[in-house]
Amino acid sequence: MPTTGRQVNFPEYDNFLDLLDQKGGPFKFVTEAKNFPVGSKIGSLPTARSLAEIEKSVLESSRVKNVIAEEANRRNVSIGSVRKEAETMLKEMAHNYNLLNVRMFGYAVTSIMKKLFDGIYINERKLQEIRERSKKDCVIFMPSHKTYFDFLLLSLVCFLYDIQLPAIAAGMDFMSMKFVGEVLRRSGAFFMRRSFGDDQLYWAVFSEYVQTHVVNNDRTIEFFVEATRSRVGKSLHPKYGMLQMVLEPYLRGSVFDLVIVPVSMNYDKILEEKLYAYELLGFPKPKESTSGLLKAREILNKKNGNCFLTFGDPISVREYFGMSLHRSTFVCQPDSQFIIDKQAKNEIRKFAHHVVDIHNKNAVITVWNIACVVMLQILDKNDEAVFDYFTLYSKVFELIQTLKKIGTCVNILKNLDADLRYYIRIIHDDLFEFEKIDEENFLLKFIDFPVEHEKMRVSRRIMERSVSRLILTTYSNAMIHSIDSESIILSLLLKSSENQISKSIILTKFEWFHNIMKREFVIIPNEIDKLFEKTIQILKTSGIIMITVDDKLEIIDYSTTYKLTALIWPYFHHFQIVFNYDWSNEKIENINSMIPKIQKKISDLYNNSTKNVRLSFFSTEPIKNAITAMIEIGAIEKRGKNDFEVNSTKLNILRKEFNDFTNNINNSKL
């Protein structure tokens, strides 16, 4: 059975912090002699290019030269002045990589890491393979993105294993951070504007800058396919622009091959967890500033558990795309005016989703993730519950057993009891108020976190209580990819009034629901049939359903079915609330303007003790996703800028499907 989740064991995984000790501590580590493979382009000897040479190759490229000439012509100014502009852009974006700085900065980072984490686990054998591959082809790291620490850790690991430190595509917001911006720049980060839509010059300079690194294989490259840090603990819907830019040299034939390495980065505790919770509630995102980071010093004095870096199998782009992307269809275009057609774009997009899928498959699911699922379920029954450790333990144990049936592996560090106590008492103790603390079976209760003021007519008290719920959800979300498809299929079977339902009917529904939920549970477009088949096989092999001779599906293990389906319902209930909102009287200007109104509705429902309403539903991210789904399906139509209109026919169909689905899962066969 295909497994999701990883068990972190030696020798597959090694603890970086142990290695650091073996090397004699951070200072010895950052000063040791390094042997990075020098960037090499096939057909020429390895050559290290200077920063000036890199810069020159961008400004002298035919694409940039063309655009400069065109711009000068369009704006009726001199070529020289546009070129100056291009130079300024380049200065703004370019990294200033310097090994000495890396060592200095590395010392600080390593010392902090040592303090912050109990363990940094890496599946190191893959790294040796990656190092070998990087000698021939440009290696591109595509990590999952949950925290700022992602890129610090990845660079550190590259340093450790003598892999060229990545040139990291970072957002402009980092650049404005004093000191840190410069440090990042010197350790190889380059900065991109968040949006540069129509600016042809910026576009040309930026893509040429990225691509010169790809083509010359000066360094490895790193970018985040989710584009931004996921605040919700699970994968975000991928973005495609950067991937397309990086793949272009391959499509153009400028490189023989590229090697993509998906990296799953998982944390016992995400350092930004509380910031995220506030942000998701709708309190404005604090500007990335150094002082903000320094305030995080209180975080530094706390233990933050472990982090897990799982490097996926390196993917040869040449092998992956094989014949699906015919490079020969691009060759009638001159190199300097390269355009990727629609079919190719679709293939590239699909690949982005594929990478996210690998992030999920290789993600480490911890006992804490499971505990959060369980605790949220406890709170569903009584939102002010005080519960004891033993209850929690037994429910966590039970859920882990259930997940094992469908091939989901939950990582156990020592043993379940030790892990659970470690997470609750040491790593995440700031969420709880403990009672009878000295007893083995102590009692737990969630604490409230202060908020500055009420918001959107939602009372401050509710807001304060919801912070911990959002944090819990962030962690519980981290396991949802392992059961989403299974639970949807089982829910569909449960809902039906008949015992046996034909596979094709379920497939149609499965596709429909997955499509609505695609921003919550990332899937690979056009491969939903495959996903369905795979999931059916898992459910069959695990003895949860059977497939009759005439290709009908029937549940045989109801107990497991209930447990699994219960995990997915909150996501559907959340969407349902958004869909059932009374849209008829709304003048919709944009999505964001609607969010507070829906939050208010959620608060009302909560106050009326409506079933299945969680405080975590205040989270803006799923609300946004639900509204986007409505737009995509046509229930809300975009008529112009800041002008949306509800299509009530389509909205009613959507509501009916969802109400049927959720009502039935609530009532049927239970």
Partner 1 sequence: MSGSYQIIEHDVPQSYRDKILKWNGWGYTDSQFTINKKGNVSFTGDKYDISGQEMPAFRGWFENYLGIDLNFTTPAQKLSDVKIDAPVENDDILEYLKEKNISFSNAPRIRLIRGHGHTVHDMLNLREGKIPRLPDVVVWPKTEKEIIEIVEGAMSHNCAIIPIGGGTSVSNALDCPVTEQRAVISLDMALLDKILWIDRENLTCRAQAGIVGQNFERQLNAKGFTCGHEPDSIEFSTVGGWVSTRASGMKKNKYGNIEDLVVHITFVTPKGVIQKQCQVPRISSGPDLHQIILGSEGTLGVVSEVTMKIFPLPEVKRYGSFVFPNFENGVKFFREVARQRIQPASLRLMDNEQFVMGQALKIASDSWWHSLKSTVSKLYITSWKGFRVEEICAATCVYEGSLEEVNEHEKRLNALAQKFSGVVGGEENGQYGYRLTFAIAYLRDLGMNHGVLGESFETSVPWDKVQTLCRNVKELMRREAKNQGVQHPVLASCRVTQVYDAGACVYFYFGFNARGLENGLQVYDRIETAARDEIIACGGSISHHHGVGKLRKQWMLTTNGAVGIALLKAIKSELDPANVFASANLIDIIGSPHSKL
Binding of partner 1 at residue 303 (CB under 8 A)?
Answer: no
Sign of the C-alpha dihedral computed for residues 538, 309, 243 and 238 taken in this order: positive
Shortest reach from residue 39's CB to partner 1, in Å: 15
Binding of partner 1 at residue 135 (CB under 8 A)?
Answer: no
Spatial CB neighbours of 174, under 8 Å, sequence gap ≥ 6: 180, 181, 184, 189, 191, 288
Which DSSP state fits 430? G
| Region of 193-201, 332-340, 355-363, 559-567 interacting with partner 1 (CB under 8 A) | 332-340
Spatial CB neighbours of 101, under 8 Å, sequence gap ≥ 6: 183, 186, 187
- Please state, in angstroms and rounded to a whole number, the distance separating the CA atoms of residues 332 and 325: 15
Are 526 and 515 in contact by the 8 Å Cβ rule? The answer is no
Which residue do the tokens 């190191």 mark? Answer: 124
Q: Residue 553, Cβ neighbours under 10 Å: how many?
A: 24
Burial class for 50, CB neighbours closer than 10 Å (0-12, 13-18, 19+): exposed
- The site map against partner 1 for 283-302 (x = CB under 8 A) is --------------------
| H or E element that contains 167 | strand 167-171
Shortest reach from residue 167's CB to partner 1, in Å: 22
Are 451 and 463 in contact by the 8 Å Cβ rule? The answer is yes
Interface positions, 244-273, toward partner 1 (CB under 8 A): 252-254, 256
Binding of partner 1 at residue 624 (CB under 8 A)?
Answer: no
Binding of partner 1 at residue 65 (CB under 8 A)?
Answer: no
Nearer to partner 1 among residue 138 and residue 160 (C-beta): 138
Interface positions, 97-126, toward partner 1 (CB under 8 A): none
Nearer to partner 1 among residue 31 and residue 62 (C-beta): 62
Binding of partner 1 at residue 161 (CB under 8 A)?
Answer: no
- Please state, in angstroms and rounded to a whole number, the distance separating the CA atoms of residues 660 and 576: 11
Are 391 and 447 in contact by the 8 Å Cβ rule? The answer is no
Interface positions, 26-55, toward partner 1 (CB under 8 A): 41-45
Q: Which two tokens stand for residue 110?
A: 């390593």
Find the helix packing angle between 51-59 and 62-75, rounded to 10°.
50
Q: Which of 336, 610, 649, 666 binds partner 1 (CB under 8 A)?
A: 336
Nearer to partner 1 among residue 24 and residue 253 (C-beta): 253
542 CA to centre of own chain: 29
Q: Which of 51, 331, 386, 418 binds partner 1 (CB under 8 A)?
A: 331
Count of residues that interact with partner 1, criterion CB under 8 A: 17
Q: Which two tokens stand for residue 379?
A: 């709170």
Q: Which of 70, 335, 429, 527 binds partner 1 (CB under 8 A)?
A: 335
Shortest reach from residue 320's CB to partner 1, in Å: 15
Question: What backbone phi and psi angles, to 5 degrees, belong to 292?
Answer: -60, -40
Binding of partner 1 at residue 327 (CB under 8 A)?
Answer: yes
Nearer to partner 1 among residue 138 and residue 516 (C-beta): 138
Shortest reach from residue 162's CB to partner 1, in Å: 23
Q: Which of 11, 197, 284, 334 binds partner 1 (CB under 8 A)?
A: 334
Shortest reach from residue 335's CB to partner 1, in Å: 4
| Contacts with partner 1, residue ranges (CB under 8 A) | 41-45, 62, 252-254, 256, 326-328, 331, 334-336
